[in-house]
């Protein structure tokens, strides 16, 4: 029996030396330390031996078991060390993915509106918000767009199915953020500087470049002695901060009923640098916003004397900016809630 245990020891030690993988090591463990191993058989058979022999054999067999277990542990560590070496010698595989800790992301419109708001806030404009369902008085009449004015045709309107208000006003979804010009003037006396971000609505069929709901940001500054030079300077400074100092800016005459003189601001096309390309329709310029000196009739509608005060206003469509900035070819994506799109921002 003594001999048998020694043989078992020699055999196990010899075969252990040839082992190079954890799979092999596992087979070795089963063979020499498993339930069906010879060693286990010896240990199980102890009960049948005479008492004296039992003690001696038992001691040797248990001794061997401890030795083999120690060898097994040693070999395991050796194999693990080899495995670590092959992965660069560190203790963990740093290339394995970490445990997920997900952050969501803000919608690209939220990001752009925030960025725009911050720029104007830093120039002393207060950010205010207003109702999205409006009276036609604020959306049109008070802004010098009377009934049957052709300028209304360019702002196709969603009318709300509700009885007229007490003044006979009709309810609609605001077609621009400009109604807040009047609401702010009614509440607050000059000097005032505000910007109004928000949703606006146009009765338009949906396609890759048109959606019935989008965002605008409106600006208004009223004080004594505000000039068109101030308008240009403010909007130029905005463009420098938002689009960068290397983009030229162009101001041309345009018509909006609630301003006079009317202004359109364009920045140099970022793709062709003014040379003309497909993006800018070969003009070299991207139209960014409409602006102008507040029309005297609008000041009057807001209860402000146009002979004493003057001001400027501007308004821009916001979706256009990320469209241009990221080369997005379908405006509907903003409202698709598609994570494959939204996770890119």
Partner 1 sequence: MKVPVSWLKEFIKVPFEVGDLAHRLTMAGTEVASISEIGSDWDGVCVGLVLAVDSHPNADRLRLVTVDSGSGTAEVVCGAPNVAPGQKICYARIGACLVDGHTGEPAVLKPARIRGVVSSGMVCSEKELGLSDEHEGILVLPESAPVGTPLRDYLGETVLDLEVTPNRPDMLSVTGVAREAGALMGKPARVVDPEFAGTGKAIESELAIDIEAPDLCPRYTASLIKGITISDSPEWLKRRLVNAGMRPINNVVDVTNYVMLEYGQPLHAFDFDKLSGARIIVRRAREGQVFVTLDGAERKLTGEMLMICDSKGEIAIAGVMGGANSEVVPDTTSILLESASFNPASIHYTSSKLGLSSAASQRFERGQSPFLTLPALNRATQLILEVAGGEAAQGVIDMAPGLNPRQPVLVSTARINSLLGTNYPEEEIIDALVLLGCSVKSCPASRELAVTPPEWRSDINLGADVVEEIARIKGYGDIPMTMLAKSIPHQSPSPMLSFKHRLREAMVGLGFQEILNWSMTNTGALSKALNQPELSVRPLYLKKPMTLDQECLRTSLRPGLFSALASNRRFEDSEIQLFELGTVYLPAGAGLPEEPQMVGGIIGSPQVKRHWSEETRPFDFYDLKGKVEALLAYLGVNPSFEPSEDSGLKPGSQAVVVVKHVPVGVIGEVDQQAGRAFEIDEPVYYFEIDITRLLPLTVGDRQYQPIPRYPAVVRDIALVMDNTVKHRQVEEIIAGFPLVVETRLFDIYTGKPVPAGKKSMAYRLTFQSRKKTLTDDAVDRVLEQILARLSSGLGAVLRR
Length of the chain: 345
Q: Which is nearer to partner 1, 18 or 167 (CB)?
A: 167
Q: Which is nearer to partner 1, 75 or 174 (CB)?
A: 174
* Residues in CB range of 207: below 8 A, 6 or more apart: 332
> CB–CB of 192/221 below 8 Å?
yes
Closer residue to partner 1, CB minimum distance, 70 or 80? 80
Q: Tell me the closest approach of the beta carbon of residue 191 to partner 1, in angstroms.
A: 4
Q: How far apart are CA 8 and CA 145, in angstroms?
A: 104
215's torsion region: left (phi>0), alpha (psi -120 to 50) or beta? beta
CB 42, min distance to partner 1, A: 40
Task: Return d(Cα 71, Cα 32) in angstroms, integer.
Answer: 11
Closest distance of CB 192 from partner 1, Å: 5
Taking alpha carbons only, the member of 3, 147, 116 closest to residue 64 is 3
Distance of closest approach, residue 314 Cβ to partner 1, in angstroms: 13
Contacts with 28 (C-beta within 8 Å, 6 or more apart), sequence order: 12, 15, 16, 19, 72
59 vs 165 by CB, closer to partner 1: 165
Minimum CB distance to partner 1, residue 128 (Å): 7
Taking the least distance from each CB to partner 1, the nearer of 24 and 204 is: 204
Cα separation of 310 and 221, whole Å? 8
């Amino acid at each position: 029996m003594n001999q048998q245990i020694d043989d078992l020891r020699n055999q196990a030690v010899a075969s252990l030396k040839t082992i190079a993988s954890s799979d092999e090591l596992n087979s070795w463990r089963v063979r020499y330390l498993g339930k069906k191993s010879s060693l286990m058989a010896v240990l199980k058979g102890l009960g049948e031996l005479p008492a004296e022999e039992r003690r001696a054999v038992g001691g040797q067999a248990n001794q061997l078991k401890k030795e083999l277990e120690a060898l097994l542990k040693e070999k395991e560590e050796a194999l693990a060390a080899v495995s670590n070496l092959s992965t660069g010698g560190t203790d963990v595989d740093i290339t394995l993915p970490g445990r997920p800790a997900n952050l969501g992301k803000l919608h690209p419109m939220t990001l752009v509106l925030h960025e725009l708001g911050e720029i104007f806030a830093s120039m002393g404009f207060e950010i205010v918000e207003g109702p999205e369902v409006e009276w036609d008085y604020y959306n049109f009449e008070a802004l010098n767009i009377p009934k049957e004015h052709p300028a209304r045709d360019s702002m196709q309107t969603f009318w709300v199915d509700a009885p007229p208000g007490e003044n006979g006003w009709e309810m609609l979804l605001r077609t621009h953020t400009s109604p807040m010009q009047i609401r702010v003037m009614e509440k607050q006396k000059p000097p005032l500087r505000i910007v109004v971000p928000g949703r606006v609505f146009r009765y338009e069929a949906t396609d890759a470049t048109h959606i019935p709901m989008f965002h605008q940001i409106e600006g208004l500054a009223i004080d004594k002695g505000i000039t068109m030079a101030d308008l240009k300077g403010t909007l130029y400074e905005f463009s420098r901060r938002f689009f960068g100092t290397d983009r030229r800016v162009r101001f041309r005459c345009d018509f909006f009923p609630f301003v006079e003189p009317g202004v359109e601001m364009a920045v140099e096309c970022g793709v062709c640098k003014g040379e003309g390309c497909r993006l800018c329709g070969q003009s070299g310029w991207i139209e960014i916003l409409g602006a102008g000196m507040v029309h005297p009739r609008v000041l009057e509608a807001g209860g402000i004397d146009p002979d004493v005060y003057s001001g400027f206003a501007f308004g821009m469509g916001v979706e256009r900016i990320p469209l241009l900035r990221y080369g997005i070819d379908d405006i509907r994506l903003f409202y698709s809630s598609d994570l494959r799109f939204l996770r890119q921002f």
